[in-house]
Amino acid sequence: MKNENISLWQRRIADKKSSGLKLDEWCTLNQLTKHAYYYWKRKLADMEISSSDASLFVEVPAEPAVKKGTMSDTMLIQ
């Protein structure tokens, strides 16, 4: 996906919100379809969610399991 398209649709969606127009009117004025508007609105929302999800999860390495009574268990206790 090209960054130009993303920027263009971010501006368009912001323009629609600030216009106060109904979607039908705004789409007619801008020669766009409602389908395209909803497609890009959803796509941009999904991109925001996926980029914010990356910071929610952190990989934590697991410590190796140690069996009781093994040589390594004895060495760890000492």
Average pLDDT over residues 6-26: 96
What local confidence, expressed as pLDDT, does residue 13 receive? 96
Average pLDDT over residues 17-40: 97
Phi-psi region of 33 (alpha: psi -120 to 50; beta: other; left: phi over 0): beta
Cβ-based burial of 31 (10 A; exposed 0-12, middle 13-18, buried ≥19) = exposed
Average pLDDT over residues 43-63: 76
What local confidence, expressed as pLDDT, does residue 50 receive? 73
What local confidence, expressed as pLDDT, does residue 19 receive? 96
pTM for this model (two decimals): 0.62
Identify the CA nearest to 34 among candidates 42, 24, 43: 24
Nearest-angstrom CA–CA distance, 26 and 20: 9
